Amino acid sequence: MMSIVSRIKPLVARALDDLYKQAFTEADLTINSTKPEFEGDYTLVLFSFVKQLKKSPEQLGNEIGEALVKNNPDLFSGYNVIKGFLNLAITDAYWIEVLQSNYDNAKFGFKSPNGEKVMVEYSSPNTNKPLHLGHLRNNFLGWSVAQILKESGYEVIKSCIVNDRGIHICKSMIAWQLFANGATPQSTNTKGDHFVGEYYVKFNDEYKKQVEELVAGGMKKEEAEKEAPIMKGTQQMLLDWEAGKPGVIDLWKKMNGWVYEGFDVTYKRIGSDFQKMYYESETYLPGKKFVEEGLKQGVFFKKDDGSVWIDLTAEGLDEKLVLRKDGTSVYITQDLGLAQQKYEEFRYDQSIYVIADEQNYHMKVLKLILQKLGRPYANGIYHLSYGMVELPTGRMKSREGTVVDADDMVEEMVNVAKNKTEELGKVKDFTEGELKELYDTIALGALKFFLLRVDPKKKMIFNPEESIDFHGFTGPFVQYTHARIKSVLRKVQDTRHKVQGTVSLLKLEKELIVSLEQYPIIIEQAVAEHNPSVLAIYAFNLAKSFNTFYTEHSVMNAESEEKKQLRLQLSAMTANVIASAMSLLGIRVPERM
């Protein structure tokens, strides 16, 4: 469907040509929603024409406004000029036609395939610990961006890189060897990723203890951190892993297997899925070959100790290590190999990396290296940088065991949803199964909405209680509005009655239709900015507008049958758009609450 602004622009351009014999493109025109303090619906900014046409803004506004209303009476009902702004009033008939054409269209705002292919990489967990609250923001953001792109016509491949090797993985492995006495997730009745994560914390506790003992014995702290036996053992384990030592590989496979089982449960619980899983253990070797090619091309250079670097000082950065002196890879090595592997497999037009803003520098380096190597996909790399999530109590640290596990957070949210819902006392006729599903729907809806409603670039503080406020800027408020509308619609059999264009719209009715008509533009904005928060804000504002309308005007007892049908259709379209917007955020909306 063509937006109202897209309808207005060519008409204005034609009017300018007819009136002044001067051609203007639609790109020359600035048209915005009219400010609430002025009469009108959409405003044409006139200042850019004044000098060229040698007329005052008032004269221009009156001449253009008169021409538009005279030549397009089906679209414009009037105009007024305030200084350099032409405010145009849109006919009620136009808005009613928008409603009649789209109120029962569940795909309103979505687009047909456009042939472009986008990869969205998100989650990126380490196999030394369970998913935590930060991973939830990452997963929800990646999944939502992928869904928004998919419904906007792109072919989307959702992928995940699992960081399943490296020094941090070895820390959990060596701690298990030292302290587990053969314990397993099964023997301790512990979810696999939680089980392995406990040994990552144990490593850090033992490491700090050994460092303190060495310092107490007279060694400098910096040297003690290198010489601590558990750290030296971990570094040797990494070398043994890269050398393929059977015992180390067997232990690595066993512990990673425990973690994968745990990850799968969490992903299913939160609604994350991937078409393609990559593993660092399979991408670091192609990365090393990548480095060899870069050395031959002169993009990389080798230092006297054998380590390989790239000099990015000319680009305002610094020298970056791409291969250690002992030949082991670093994160950038793996990422170079993975970028090549992904492109060879999928030939994408764009590759979106959902990675926290702590890696802004790393992602700049990755893109620069690929550009210097002349890779065809380099310019298509996009870093969707997001801020960290903190709790009201402060920042979380996984190595100290202060991180909030994703599983624990989801369960806490379910309990909060249960308590809040029971306080309202409106679910007495629900079965036990229906209540369980409702609590899950509210809990995950609250969690996803709260984490997605903030612009990705901003850091945020997550408060579970605040996120399930049924009256605030929350997912449950939007969900409740949807359920409220569905309750109204269940009272009628059919809403497919033609509403005549002669019906005049009241202020709140018109405001609601205008808001609904803007939904496709909101989706376009979310695509352009890779930003689901604009959809969350829109869904909340739409729900708020509907509640204001519903408080003021009866649907079932409207003043006429035509008004009743109009409001039923308005309710139906609002419910559809809310459900659609929330689905792009990965949030279910209940039929009743």
With beta carbons less than 8 A apart as the criterion, state whether 97 and 109 touch. no
Exposure string (b/e) for 469-506, b if CB count within 10 Å is 16 or more? bbeebbbbbbbbbbbbbbebeeeeeebeeebeeeeebe
Q: Give residue 421's pLDDT.
A: 87
Q: How many CA atoms lie within 13 A of 93 on its CB side?
A: 9
CATH fourth-level superfamily of 406-584: Isoleucyl-tRNA Synthetase; Domain 1 (1.10.730.10)
| Residue 125 token pair | 């967990």
Exposure string (b/e) for 275-306, b if CB count within 10 Å is 16 or more? eeebbbbbbbebbbebbeebeeeebbeeeeee
Give percent helix, percent strand, percent coil of the chain, each to the nearest 5: 60, 10, 30
3-state secondary structure at position 394: strand
With beta carbons less than 8 A apart as the criterion, state whether 254 and 240 touch. no
Helix or strand holding residue 460 (H, E):
strand 460-461
| Residue 435 token pair | 């209540």
Would you give the end-to-end CA distance of the chain in angstroms? 33
Q: Give residue 554's pLDDT.
A: 95
3-state secondary structure at position 377: coil
pTM, entire model: 0.92
| Residue 343 token pair | 């492109």
Q: What is the dihedral of CA 274, 275, 279, 280, to 10 degrees?
A: -80
Q: Give residue 500's pLDDT.
A: 60
| Residue 75 token pair | 């679209």
Q: Give residue 304's pLDDT.
A: 93
Q: Give residue 1's pLDDT.
A: 66
3-state secondary structure at position 160: strand
Domain segments of the chain as ranges: 4-90, 122-276+353-400, 406-584
| Residue 93 token pair | 């008939």
Residues 308 and 310: their CA atoms lie apart, in Å, by 7
Nearest CA-CA partner of 239 in 335, 325, 129, 162: 325
pLDDT along the chain (593 residues), means of 10: 89 95 91 93 93 92 97 96 95 94 94 96 95 94 98 98 93 97 97 96 96 95 95 95 94 98 97 96 85 92 94 93 86 91 96 96 95 95 94 57 80 91 83 93 96 95 85 94 95 70 87 96 96 98 98 94 94 97 98 90
Q: Give residue 495's pLDDT.
A: 60
3-state secondary structure at position 170: helix
Q: Give residue 290's pLDDT.
A: 86
| Residue 57 token pair | 């803004």
Residues 65 and 82: their CA atoms lie apart, in Å, by 12
CB neighbour list of residue 58: distance below 8 Å, 6 or more residues apart = 81, 83
DSSP track, 109-122: T-----S-EEEEE-
Give the CATH class of 122-276+353-400.
alpha beta
CATH hierarchy code of domain 4-90: 3.30.1360.70
